[in-house]
Amino acid sequence: MTGTVLGDVPDELTWRMDPSKFSVVGAVTKRLVPYLIEATLIPTALFYGFLVAGGLTWAFVAALGWTYTAVLRRVVGRNPIPGLLILACLGITVRTGVYLFSGNSFVYFVQPILRTLGTAGCLAVSVLVGRPLIARFASDFCPLSPEVQDRPGIVRLFQQLTFLWAGVNLVAALVSLTLLLTVPTAVFVGMATVSAWIATCVGVVVTVAASVRTARREGLATAVAPNGALRAYVAVPG
């Protein structure tokens, strides 16, 4: 069995053909973790570091500066901007603007929770209007040709995964809101971050399992590169 990729043909000397679910999880993790570190962990660490060292104003400047620089670097280099980074940039911009308008620090901390709730709602609505957002984010991890994306089985997969991630965001928001209202700020920051990462990891595992199962049912095969890049291709006898 050989593979014909819809797009770039993977080099079988470097790409692992038909990897296991564990290998796919590893590949997705390899691609996802840098995005999460860049879009969430680093700006969060900068914010609280500058908050302790220089106050709230410098914390805003540091977090905004990092996020805008990450976006600008890709614009200048004409590289694709990951969906997670776009959401992070929009989120921190809105949070800072609302805080400056209100002057209330509690408003700053509750905004990401409201944004997460909004994200859950947007994901659910995108399915109802026939444009599941997961189809957009999927291209950051495993590019698919239009022919593959339009298959009924793939369309259903994107719908199901979009609902899944709506649920993940809803759970993360409710947990964070509960923590914000019941524990000190220092405890809230750590526990909210950990709970969000746990929810994300669970979502990734479920997403990969469902995606591999659907790909096999649709007669597709997968390939993973040493750098974690994924491809889905149509397997043909050879």
| Chain segment 125-134, per-residue pLDDT in tens | 999 998 888 8
CA dist 83 and 129 (Å) reads: 20
Band (pLDDT 50/70/90 cuts) for residue 229 is: low
- N-term to C-term CA, the chain: 5
Band (pLDDT 50/70/90 cuts) for residue 169 is: very high
Task: Encode burial over 159-198: b for 16+ CB neighbours within 10 A, e otherwise.
Answer: bbbbbbbbbbbbbbbebbbebbeeeeeeebbebbeebbee
**More confident call, 116 vs 234:** 116
Q: What is the model's pLDDT at position 11?
A: 47
**Which residues does residue 230 pair with via DSSP β-bridges, in sequence order?**
224
What DSSP element (H or E) covers 76? Answer: helix 56-76
Note the pLDDT tens digit of each residue in 64-100.
888 888 888 888 888 877 776 777 787 778 777 877 7
Beta-carbon contacts of residue 221 (< 8 Å; ≥ 6 apart): 1, 3, 17, 18, 215, 232, 233, 234, 235
Placement of tokens 């593959």 in the chain: 148
CA dist 51 and 74 (Å) reads: 28
Average pLDDT value for the chain = 76
User: How many residues does this entry show for the chain?
Assistant: 238
Burial of 236 (0-12, 13-18, 19+ CB in 10 A): exposed
Band (pLDDT 50/70/90 cuts) for residue 9 is: very low
The number of folded domains in the chain is 1
Q: Which of 16-25, 50-59, 74-83, 196-205 has the highest mean pLDDT?
A: 196-205
Domain of residue 132 covers 2-236
Band (pLDDT 50/70/90 cuts) for residue 221 is: low
Task: Note the pTM of the prediction, 2 decimals.
Answer: 0.66
Half-sphere exposure of 172 (CA within 13 A, CB side): 27
Amino acid at 185: T
Q: Is the pLDDT of residue 237 over 60?
A: no
Q: What is the model's pLDDT at position 159?
A: 93
Q: What is the model's pLDDT at position 10?
A: 46
CA dist 171 and 156 (Å) reads: 23
Q: Is the pLDDT of residue 1 over 50?
A: no
